[in-house]
């Protein structure tokens, strides 16, 4: 009896408390100044989409709602629940593409980044190949004053750090110099860099021995960064270069991304089974190794990489001094000849000029053609003379047709390969740049997914979205998930494709109609908008 009364009392007490709470809640809810009953629940809803979520799962039909720059809901959503409706009409809705291998240090001069936006790219990782800004904090904070159309992350480049401390000296750093470099990497990581990059083919990165890179990578690793490398050699020495990259990550205990994975020696064409095997072996040992790739059989880099690295030490003036000495010049020429021969090319017909400032008429033509016309002689000797002359005049941007299509395909099929352009922000119509900066993602979707069926659509998109986000630690991007940033791309899988060619690179892709960055439309019905919703992405 007593017990029962107590129970009654308890229930009564609970009921009273609940009533008070609910009265309080309803009081808040009906507060007239804070809630507009007619306000739409979402800022934007994309209806009738076939959603490819970025994880590799098969597409599904859904509407996607966006609120406050984030994906708020996925499912059946009434159009009247949103301030703006975009009817996808059955097109593919994917997470915005994340391009982890770019060179966009100059992006603030072209904040619309149109060549990337039109490929469906919404986030860029810059600072690759050892070359970055040295003040990462300033680079990333600038987004607030000078807004961009896309999101921006950066690595800190070993070459840039080395140059800042010891210029272009061809020697090991002193302990004090190494300390200074470590301090610069430390600061960059604190400022939000996503990792350390190297360009061990370029001056001055090429002068670093493995232990120097290990020391700097260790600093980046302490902050959870990745080691992204343009390896010492992508030609005849590619196997040893992969081993070095893996050794660095293994010694330090950090994830490794091998940039623009390729084989650029004709003699080694077809050996991707060996080179990919090294990566897959390392992964079996528990090392986090990934690679990235652009979907072309030509690379693009500077002309001076054709000269031996010792010949370029100390900068252009030093290089010119060496070339003025007949004996040294003879050694340089001999090394260029033997290197060419070892890589299996009979001359420099594979080397096309992309951007030569002193004479724009060279753009789009090969060294072989230019040398033949300028020197009325064919053969390797006049071509080398031509290269040296152009190097002495300040160098050139080049496109090198040195890869094999079967290798490109074998690389693309690996589950840990990401799609990345290796491009900068393009100025429409300027020079004859590599077409990848206009077409890379669209080319994968058009050629390798639709025409060749090398990849499924879902897997190709995974390689452009969640895999890059996971690898570079971009936490809330790369997937269509509730709560994730609303970076989205809408395209027609039947018409998406690249149009940019080596002969006519300045052509935007087809089939990509809408691009959203943090919920704002930067491309609508194939037209660029004035929106600049990009943010800095920090590790
Ligand atoms: Zn590179």
> What local confidence, expressed as pLDDT, does residue 3 receive?
43
Six-digit token pair at 295?
């979907």
CA of 494 to the centre of ligand 1 (A): 32
Six-digit token pair at 454?
């090398």
Question: Which class does domain 95-298+402-487+494-528 fall in?
Answer: alpha beta
Angle, helix 272-284 to helix 238-252, in steps of 10 degrees: 10
pLDDT band for position 16 (cuts 50, 70, 90): low
pLDDT band for position 39 (cuts 50, 70, 90): confident
CA of 104 to the centre of ligand 1 (A): 13
Residue 22 predicted with pLDDT over 90: no
CA of 1 to the centre of ligand 1 (A): 84
For the whole model, what pTM was predicted? 0.90
pLDDT digits (tens, 9 = 90+) for 46-104: 999 999 999 999 999 999 999 999 999 999 999 999 999 999 999 999 999 999 999 99
- % of the chain exceeding 70 in pLDDT: 93
CA of 402 to the centre of ligand 1 (A): 15
> What local confidence, expressed as pLDDT, does residue 33 receive?
45
Give the DSSP H/E element, type plus range, for residue 328: helix 326-342
CA of 367 to the centre of ligand 1 (A): 21
Residue 489's nearest CA partner among 95, 62, 77, 69 is: 95
Residue 285 predicted with pLDDT over 50: yes
Average pLDDT of the chain is 93
pLDDT digits (tens, 9 = 90+) for 455-477: 999 999 999 999 999 999 999 99
CA of 483 to the centre of ligand 1 (A): 34
CA of 259 to the centre of ligand 1 (A): 6
CA angle 110, 111, 112 (to 5 degrees): 95
pLDDT band for position 36 (cuts 50, 70, 90): low
Looking at 157-237, list the stretches that DSSP marks H as alpha helix, in order from N- to C-terminal side: 158-166, 175-190, 210-222
Residue 276 predicted with pLDDT over 90: yes
CA of 201 to the centre of ligand 1 (A): 9
CA of 199 to the centre of ligand 1 (A): 6
Domain boundaries along the sequence of the chain? 95-298+402-487+494-528, 302-400
pLDDT digits (tens, 9 = 90+) for 483-532: 999 999 999 999 999 999 998 999 999 999 999 999 999 999 999 999 99
CA of 12 to the centre of ligand 1 (A): 73
Angle, helix 380-392 to helix 326-342, in steps of 10 degrees: 120
CA of 206 to the centre of ligand 1 (A): 13
CA of 261 to the centre of ligand 1 (A): 9
CA of 231 to the centre of ligand 1 (A): 8
Six-digit token pair at 168?
């272009």
CA of 325 to the centre of ligand 1 (A): 31
pLDDT digits (tens, 9 = 90+) for 374-429: 999 889 999 999 999 999 999 999 999 999 999 999 999 999 999 999 999 999 99
pLDDT digits (tens, 9 = 90+) for 323-369: 999 999 999 999 999 999 998 999 999 999 999 999 999 999 999 99
CA of 486 to the centre of ligand 1 (A): 30
CA of 128 to the centre of ligand 1 (A): 7
Give the strand pairing for 92-95 and 488-491: antiparallel
CA of 308 to the centre of ligand 1 (A): 17
CA of 264 to the centre of ligand 1 (A): 13
CA of 230 to the centre of ligand 1 (A): 5
pLDDT mean over 368-372? 97
């Amino acid at each position: 009896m007593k017990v029962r009364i107590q129970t009654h009392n308890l229930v009564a007490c609970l009921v009273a408390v609940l009533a008070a709470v609910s009265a309080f809640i309803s009081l808040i809810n009906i507060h007239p100044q804070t809630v507009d009953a007619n306000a739409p629940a979402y800022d934007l809803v994309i209806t009738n989409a076939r959603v490819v979520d970025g994880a590799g799962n098969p597409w599904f039909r859904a509407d996607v709602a966006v609120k406050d720059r984030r994906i708020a809901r996925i499912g059946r959503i009434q159009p009247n629940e949103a301030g703006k409706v975009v009817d996808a009409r059955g097109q593919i809705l994917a997470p915005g593409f994340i391009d982890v291998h770019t060179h966009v240090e100059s992006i603030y001069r072209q904040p619309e980044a149109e060549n990337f936006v039109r490929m469906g790219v919404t986030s860029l990782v810059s600072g690759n190949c050892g070359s970055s800004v040295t003040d990462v904090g300033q680079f990333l904070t600038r987004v607030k004053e000078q807004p961009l159309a896309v999101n921006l992350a950066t690595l800190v480049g070993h070459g840039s750090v080395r140059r800042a401390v010891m210029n272009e000296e061809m020697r090991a750093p002193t302990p004090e110099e190494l300390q200074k470099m470590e301090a610069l990497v430390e600061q960059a990581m604190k400022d939000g860099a996503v990792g350390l990059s190297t360009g061990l083919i370029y001056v001055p990165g090429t002068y670093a021995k493995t232990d120097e890179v290990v020391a700097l990578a260790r600093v980046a690793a302490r902050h959870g960064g990745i080691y992204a490398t343009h390896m010492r050699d992508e030609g005849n020495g590619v196997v040893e270069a992969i081993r070095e990259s893996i050794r660095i990550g293994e010694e330090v205990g950090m994830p490794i991304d091998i940039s623009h994975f390729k084989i650029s020696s004709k003699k080694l064409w077809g050996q991707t089974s060996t080179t990919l095997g090294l990566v897959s072996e390392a992964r079996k040992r528990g090392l986090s190794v990934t690679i990235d790739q652009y979907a072309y059989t030509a690379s693009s880099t500077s002309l001076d990489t054709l000269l031996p690295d010792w010949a370029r030490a100390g900068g252009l003036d030093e290089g010119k001094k060496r070339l003025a000495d007949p004996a040294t010049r003879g050694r340089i020429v001999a090394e260029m000849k033997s290197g060419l021969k070892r890589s299996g090319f009979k001359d420099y017909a594979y080397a096309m000029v992309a951007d030569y400032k002193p004479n724009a008429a060279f753009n789009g033509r090969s060294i072989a053609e230019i040398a033949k016309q300028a020197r009325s002689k064919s053969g390797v000797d006049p071509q080398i003379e031509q290269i040296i002359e152009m190097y002495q005049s300040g160098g050139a941007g080049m496109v090198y047709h040195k890869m094999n299509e079967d290798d490109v395909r074998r690389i693309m099929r690996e589950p840990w390969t990401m799609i990345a352009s290796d491009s900068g922000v393009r100025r429409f119509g300027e020079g004859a740049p590599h077409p990848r900066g206009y077409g890379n993602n669209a080319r994968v979707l058009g050629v390798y997914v639709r025409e060749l069926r090398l990849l499924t659509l879902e897997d190709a998109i995974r390689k452009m979205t969640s895999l890059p986000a996971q690898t570079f630690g971009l936490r809330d991007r790369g997937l269509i998930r509730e709560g994730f940033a609303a970076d989205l791309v809408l395209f027609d899988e039947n018409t998406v494709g690249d149009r940019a060619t080596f002969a006519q690179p300045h052509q935007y892709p087809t089939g990509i109609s809408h691009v959203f960055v943090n919920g704002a439309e930067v491309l609508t019905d194939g037209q660029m908008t004035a929106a600049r919703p990009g943010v800095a992405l920090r590790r």
